[in-house]
Amino acid sequence: MSFIINKLHYVIRPICRLSILLSAIALLSQSVTGQAIPEHVSYEEIYAFMDELASEHIIIVNSAVKPYTKGFILECLQKAERADSLLNKRQKNDLAFYLQSYQIWNKDPQNPYIDEKINILKNYSTHSALTTSHLGFVHRDSNFTVVARPIWGYKYFSNDNGDVTHFWGGASAEAQIGNRLSVFASVRDNSISEILAWPGNFTRQEGGNYKLGEGGRSGGDYSEMRGGLALHWNWGNVSLVKDHVQWGDHDHGPIILDSRAPSFAMLKMHLNPVWWFEFDYLHGWLVSEVIDSANSYVSQYGESREAYRSKFIAANMYTLHPFRHMSLSAGNSIIYSDLGGPHPAYMIPFMFFKSIDHTLNHGIQNQNSQLFFNVSIRSIKHLQLYGSLFVDEFSKTRVGDDSRHNFLSWKGGARLQNWPIPNVALTYEFTQTYPVTYKHRIAATTYETNNYGLGHYLSDNSLEHYFALTIKPVSRLNIKLRYWQAFHANEYAYDINNETRIDALPVLEDKTWQNHTGDIAASYQLLTNVRLQLIYRNSNIKAFDVDEIKAQEYLSMYSPNFYHGRQQTIIFQFNLGF
């Protein structure tokens, strides 16, 4: 009984703290607007449109921290509607298309409850509808708004190595209750005939926790459940969610936090009390997949019941807007374990976590802490300059020493759009990561969850050049031409007992893996949340014999068999829901 009580307090304590925090904010926040349902980062079109409006100096966004909430997106679209004289014809049509979807979250009393040209429930209720603009069920009144819709998708890949099919299906629901509470849930089951995103693969495709060979089928199945609840007011929100996040400006993969791994549960906070300052925080429950032998046991029927070691992340980001179209962000994070559950010191949002680590783990092995910075400059209309810096370890003694390096990753990029040619955008990004930046010597505190890296998709000791030309000839149609040249160099373990010092490992010395890929992607949104996409991809992915390891071993480690060698791949996708 005492064992059960000791374990229960690890669960009860953070719930009690969250309840106290939410109650305090509810009492202090009398003026409440908007809602805090996140728009998933896979809805690339709306995020690209938000970036476009920001570069046109119509709205201001903090593009370093995603996802945005649907309420924030609606506010931005409404600002653009009031400035529609600054938009061209295609932009006006895109704006009208997105407003049709997000307008449901407008709590203005003058806004009609349901405004649908096609509504088979119109004879039964003025508050409910089966709608084409949301492709699902909608109810809206003065106290309750809900949108529920199905999710279904099909993706087909074909090249000389064979064919791959990916099916998924499920449902989602989003609701605003009263003026302060938002809730959402989304579940989808996936089945793929050949796994294209194993942990360790250098791909931006979403990974999963696969069940292999289900029902005798090839490939694997996995389920992805996201959801949460949020309390919001007119300058911020707090939430308990299981979702994906992205931190760091990018077009082809952020270096701070990426969304390739399965979603994880987290407490989040967003504060925006004045236009020139924002603050973001999360405390997440990660999955270590490291067996905890002390808490593993054999059941009375002889079955092994294994348990993983606990693993958590705490991260914050401070963002200043010194000028209306400039954002400067700085933050820090820590991956920690073996503290008897989530530690209250790391649940204080505004802390410098490495300093706490020095206190909690004085004289013993430290946890895994990081620093990061991001800048986005849109001072010149049509042009965005951006960059990110991720620092795992830094010592000023290494600066200027050619034989040593700090453990960091950095990205720089530029995007020019709607000038000199309207409806055309040109993007370039460069990314470089030094050896062992995303590694750690303790398995339970690596920068991963479910063995998928949380940082840049190329991991450490790598480099990438990325180019993109985006053309939007008409509303809802995107044509994107992309080319990226990436390579990964020597694979090093974080071994402090190695003959070579960790900070003296050669940087980008020998190529182990190389990827030259160009593709043309055309996507069209038939309806809100309904997308068709067709991609032609020409790729050449190969590996090399390095450090007494054969090229084929590197190739299998970093890329799925489907993409090995020189390939011309056709990809078709249809999805209902994001």
Q: Give the count of beta carbons closer than 10 Å to the beta carbon of residue 6.
A: 10
pLDDT tier for residue 160 given thresholds of 50, 70 and 90:
very high
Computed over every residue of the chain, the mean pLDDT equals 91
pLDDT tens column, 359-368? 999 888 899 9
Per-residue model confidence as pLDDT tens digits over 418-449: 999 999 999 999 999 999 999 999 999 999 99
Q: Which residues contact 208 (CB under 8 A, 6 or more apart)?
A: 190, 197, 220, 222, 223, 224, 262
pLDDT at 7: 47
Distance CA 95, CA 476 (A): 10
By CB neighbour count within 10 A (0-12 exposed, 13-18 middle, 19+ buried), where does 136 fall? buried
Q: Which of 47-51, 215-219, 262-266 has the lowest mean pLDDT?
A: 215-219
| Structure-token match 């809730």, residue found | 183
What amino acid occupies position 334?
Answer: I
Tracing tokens 């509810």 back to the chain, one arrives at: 26
Domain spans of the chain, in order of start: 31-576
- Contact assessment for residue 439 and residue 460, using Cβ atoms and an 8 Å cutoff: yes
The CB-based long-range contact list for 329-332 (8 Å cut-off, 24+ gap) reads: 329/62, 329/64, 329/65, 329/373, 329/374, 329/375, 330/371, 330/372, 330/373, 330/374, 331/247, 331/280, 331/371, 331/372, 331/373, 332/369, 332/370, 332/371, 332/372
Structural fold of domain 31-576: Porin (2.40.160)
- pLDDT value of position 127: 79
The rounded percent of the chain whose pLDDT value lies above 70 is 91
Q: With H, G, I as helix, E, B as strand and everything else as coil, classify residue 1.
A: coil
For residue 109, give every residue at least 6 positions away whose Cβ sits within 8 Å of its Cβ, in sequence order, or none. Answer: 142
**pLDDT above 90 (res 27):** no
Residue among 13, 87, 29, 33 nearest 56 (CA): 87
pTM exceeding the 0.85 threshold for the entire prediction: yes
Q: How much of the chain is helix, strand and coil, in % rounded to 5?
A: 20, 45, 40
Quote the tokens at residue 506.
């050669």
- The answer, yes or no, to whether residue 22 has pLDDT greater than 50, is no
Q: Are the beta carbons of 468 and 426 closer than 8 angstroms?
A: yes
**Tens of pLDDT, residues 514-553:** 999 999 999 999 988 899 999 999 999 999 999 999 999 9
Q: Which of 348, 354, 350, 351 is nearest to 336 (CA)?
A: 354
Q: Do the beta carbons of residue 321 and residue 362 sit within 8 Å?
A: no
pLDDT on residue 4: 44
